[in-house]
Amino acid sequence: GLALEPRRGAEMDMVQLQNGCICCSAGDELFSALGELVSLSFIKKTSYDHVLVESSGVAEPRLIRDAFQDAAAMGLQVMDVVRLARMVTVVDASTFAEQLNSLQALRDRPDLMDSVEEGGKEAEPLPPELQEMLAGMGPGGETAPNPAENRAVVDLLVEQVETADVIVLNKLDCITSEETQLVRALVTELNGYA
């Protein structure tokens, strides 16, 4: 979803993305939502300090950054008043080192794939017309597979840390000081600039 942080003392505005995907071709919805929020700010005659775009834990930040660069290069009008200031990655310190050693693909992690397929929310059934259109896209008439399913979890974690401008270590209270030092060293090795 998107949230705009208004100037002090004003209420927060929020737009929920219906598709839930901001880092693939369906990400056009992101820029429409940004345009909607910018229009809302003009209607309210107020400006916003920040727009926060929260993606799922399996979002591919390089694609998100590329989408903003492409939108600016194409001259999307919303980019006259919106810019990508920084990318923040929240690292689960309690599982990070273990996940970096994992060879699992996203398809082997239903807890993560639910976020890919449903934007982290319970999926609503597709309209019958859309179900018909999707039928036959894959072999044997089933829906074509999601290419993200074959991606290794470790590759996604590394990309998320490498691409971040800011890294937040979460759940440090769940690990020992030695484990904290290891996680900090791993994160610094992947991204010494964040």
Residue 53 confidence (pLDDT) above 90: no
Q: 100 or 120: whose pLDDT is higher? A: 100
Predicted model pTM: 0.70
Residue 191 confidence (pLDDT) above 90: yes
CA-closest candidate to residue 155, choices 185, 179, 113, 190: 190
User: With bands split at pLDDT 50, 70 and 90, how would you rate the model's confidence at 51?
Assistant: confident
The DSSP annotation for 120-161 comes to: TSPPPPPPHHHHHHHTTSSGGGSPPPPGGGGSBHHHHHHHHH
Q: Are strands 2-6 and 48-53 parallel, antiparallel or unpaired?
A: antiparallel
Over residues 161-185, the pLDDT tens digits come to 999 999 999 999 999 999 999 999 9
State the pLDDT at residue 121. Answer: 40
Helical H runs in the chain? Answer: 28-43, 61-73, 96-100, 110-118, 128-134, 153-163, 177-190
The answer to whether the beta carbons of residues 87 and 42 sit under 8 Å apart is: no
- Token readout for 117 is 């397929």
CA-closest candidate to residue 95, choices 172, 3, 190, 5: 172
Question: Which neighbouring-strand residues pair with 6?
Answer: 48
Over residues 64-117, the pLDDT tens digits come to 899 899 999 999 999 999 999 999 999 999 999 998 888 777 777 777 655 444
